[in-house]
Structure 1
Amino acid sequence: MVILFILGVGLVLSAIALVGMALRPAEESNSINRSLAVLRAMTDAPKELTKDLDKPFADRVLAPLRARSLKVGRRISGADSAERIRAKLDLAGNPAGWSVDQVTASKVLGAGVGLLIGLAVGLVIADSLTFRLAFTILGTIVGFFGPNLYLYQLAYDRSNKLQRDLPDAIDLMTISVESGLGFDAAVQQVATNTDGPLADEFGRMLREMQLGMGRSEALRSLGDRTNVDDIRSFVSAMVQADSFGIPVAQVLRVQSGEMRTKRRQRAEEKAQQVPVKITVPLIFCILPALFVAVMGPAVINILDNFG
């Protein structure tokens, strides 16, 4: 009886094992079929359901990050920050792809990147906690004010180019007015036949006048968009000439002479600064090499004779 009981239990266990082995492939096949069904459904699904998965990395990751940075930047910035950034963009010539929101978001992103870079540099270079903290703070500050520094450099270069191009532009306007054209047509000649930021500013002034803005107001707007004293002086003279009815050709002739005199004076000023600026490299770079070349052989001979 014991042997029969053991055989019965063994047969039952064998039957259970065979049933489990028989059902396992069916479960695996069912899971495979479900996976294929999901893939088929995703492939055959309409574009409205799969458009979120088809978006590029910039739209899925960078755009939300930029939006979060913009919110943080608006919270930590002052109430007049938008006006100040817009003024800086006007001075820089409104570079392509840059706006007030772009600058605000870039400042927050730059602060985050600068914090990580400063922390990494501090961990690699410095051993003390104070220096690591100093590198981290410095990187954060540089990253936060990086866009402002970039706009400042663009505005500085643009102002120098405006100042260099203004005398030639006034000469062209003077010739055009004296040949019989009006002031607006003379400005159009400068905007059409020249290149650079000054031509762009004159073109913008003409578009504003075509949209209904008065000549004096358009000229004042031109002066407000630049920080060049010569342009503001020219704008002031032309506004007064338009208000009092002074002949435009005469005003342009006087302005042309003044601008050329100022340009010559600036050139002379820079020429007089050359001896002062060359003193430092002369003392620390040129004179030591000259002393080595001239006095070196004599010092060697003296040492040999004493030796």
Structure 2
Amino acid sequence: MNSLPAGVAVVVLTASMFMLAFAVFAGRDTVRARTVANLRRGIDEGYAAPIDLTGVADDDSRSRLYEFARRLTPTGTIRRLERLTIRAGRPQGWSLQRLVVAKLALPLLALLLGVMLLGAHPAPLLLLMVLGTVIVCYFLPELLLSSRSQERNDQIQLELADTLDQMTIAVEAGLGFDAAMARAGRNGTGALAQELIRTLQEIQVGQLRRAAYENLAVRTDVPDLRRFVRAIIQADAYGISVADVLRTQAAEMRLKRRQRAEEKAQQIPVKVIFPLMVCILPVLFIVLLGPTAINMMEAFS
């Protein structure tokens, strides 16, 4: 009788954690809305953009809550969250302030709900589940950011070969490397195009070209892109033709992309074994042997 309430309690606890995480990460970003309104104000003559002052008090309370959470969070954890946020492309609504507050609020809320459930239905299994839920809630921001950054890195890795082909064609047509990078960034729509445009913007504001390329490799953390950036830096330092470097790197990226596709195709039979054994074969055995078992039971009874 105690197993059913414990199971219901675990389901309620898990659902509450996911709902709280969604509310924290998908909330309305009033800071961004107010900033955009201020930037647009005065662009058109006679136009005054409305300023939303309804969220000022909420922003003050959020800032105080962030300062309190930041004091309780180690500096290394905040740096790790900031690094993961950069590699994830700084997704909208996932600011560092929200992540720090969520990292502190989610495990506390999970612990509070777990204590209430344990007070109503004390059980060793429920205690272990509550502790596991608290640990998962503490590392939930890192897990979400790591998943987002991995998806973004896979997208960059997939787009790299085609982008290098475009840059190779532009350089061979007579454009410079920066102009070719700008054209590839304007024509692209993915994460790689955004990173190329950001790199050009860093160069335009006065940052060294080598430092801007190295920042590109650090932000994305893609091995193929890091290798390409290293080749470009060496070509710039030793006076090697950029067109030859782009052509070689593009051919190498296409070869690696084809090899990764072949590797994933060879892994499919191994990955299919587990769902085949767990989901398909038992149902097949029930359909084929079920009537025979029923007839045998009727005959012997």
TM bin (shorter chain): 0.7 to 0.9
Corresponding residue of 2:95: 99
> 2:72 matched to 1:76?
yes
Contact 1:118 1:138 in 2 (8 A): no
Root-mean-square deviation (CA, aligned residues, Å) is 2.5
Corresponding residue of 1:165: 159
Corresponding residue of 2:107: 111
Question: How many angstroms apart in 1 are the aligned matches of 2:82 and 2:295?
Answer: 69
> 2:208 matched to 1:214?
yes
Residues 1:189 and 1:295: Cα distance change in structure 2 (over 3 Å): same
Count of matched residue positions in the alignment of Structure 1 and Structure 2: 249
Q: How does 1:26-45 map to 2 (within 5 A)?
A: none
Q: Tell me how far 1:305 sits from its aligned partner.
A: 5.6
CA radius of gyration, larger in: 1
Question: Deviation per CA, 1:239-274, whole angstroms, max 9, x where unpaired?
Answer: 111111111111111101110111111111111111
Question: How many angstroms apart in 2 are the aligned matches of 1:107 and 1:69?
Answer: 12
Corresponding residue of 1:281: 275
Q: Tell me how far 1:151 sits from its aligned partner.
A: 1.2
Q: Tell me how far 1:120 sits from its aligned partner.
A: 4.4
Q: Tell me how far 1:180 sits from its aligned partner.
A: 1.2
Corresponding residue of 1:48: none
Q: Tell me how far 1:281 sits from its aligned partner.
A: 1.4
Question: How many angstroms apart in 2 are the aligned matches of 1:205 and 1:166?
Answer: 15
Q: How does 1:1-307 map to 2 (within 5 A)?
A: 56=54, 59-60=56-57, 63-64=60-61, 66-123=62-119, 126-128=121-123, 130=124, 133-302=127-296
Question: How many angstroms apart in 1 are the aligned matches of 2:118 and 2:146?
Answer: 28
Residues 1:86 and 1:235: Cα distance change in structure 2 (over 3 Å): same
Determine which structure has greater relative contact order: mean sequence separation of CA pairs < 8 Å that are 6+ residues apart, divided by chain length: 2
Q: Tell me how far 1:237 sits from its aligned partner.
A: 0.8
Question: How many angstroms apart in 1 are the aligned matches of 2:298 and 2:137?
Answer: 58
Contact 1:115 1:136 in 2 (8 A): yes
Q: Tell me how far 1:290 sits from its aligned partner.
A: 2.2
Corresponding residue of 1:18: none
**Paired residue type of 2:81:** I
Structure 1 gaps of 5+ residues are 1-54
Residues 1:78 and 1:296: Cα distance change in structure 2 (over 3 Å): closer
Question: How many angstroms apart in 2 are the aligned matches of 1:176 and 1:229?
Answer: 24
Question: Deviation per CA, 1:152-193, whole angstroms, max 9, x where unpaired?
Answer: 121111111111111111111111111111111110111101
Scaled by the length of structure 1, the TM-score of the pair is 0.73
Contact 1:106 1:147 in 2 (8 A): yes
Equivalent residue of 1:278, what SS?
helix
**Paired residue type of 2:76:** D
Question: How many angstroms apart in 2 are the aligned matches of 1:138 and 1:295?
Answer: 40
Question: How many angstroms apart in 2 are the aligned matches of 1:251 and 1:193?
Answer: 21
Question: How many angstroms apart in 2 are the aligned matches of 1:236 and 1:75?
Answer: 39
Residues 1:257 and 1:302: Cα distance change in structure 2 (over 3 Å): same
Scaled by the length of structure 2, the TM-score of the pair is 0.74
Residues 1:118 and 1:297: Cα distance change in structure 2 (over 3 Å): same
Question: How many angstroms apart in 2 are the aligned matches of 1:281 and 1:147?
Answer: 30
Residues 1:303 and 1:155: Cα distance change in structure 2 (over 3 Å): same
Contact 1:174 1:253 in 2 (8 A): yes
Q: Tell me how far 1:63 sits from its aligned partner.
A: 4.1
% same residue: 41
Residues 1:137 and 1:71: Cα distance change in structure 2 (over 3 Å): farther
Q: Tell me how far 1:306 sits from its aligned partner.
A: 5.5
Contact 1:161 1:197 in 2 (8 A): yes
Residues 1:132 and 1:71: Cα distance change in structure 2 (over 3 Å): farther
Question: Deviation per CA, 1:215-256, whole angstroms, max 9, x where unpaired?
Answer: 222111100111211110111111111111111111111101
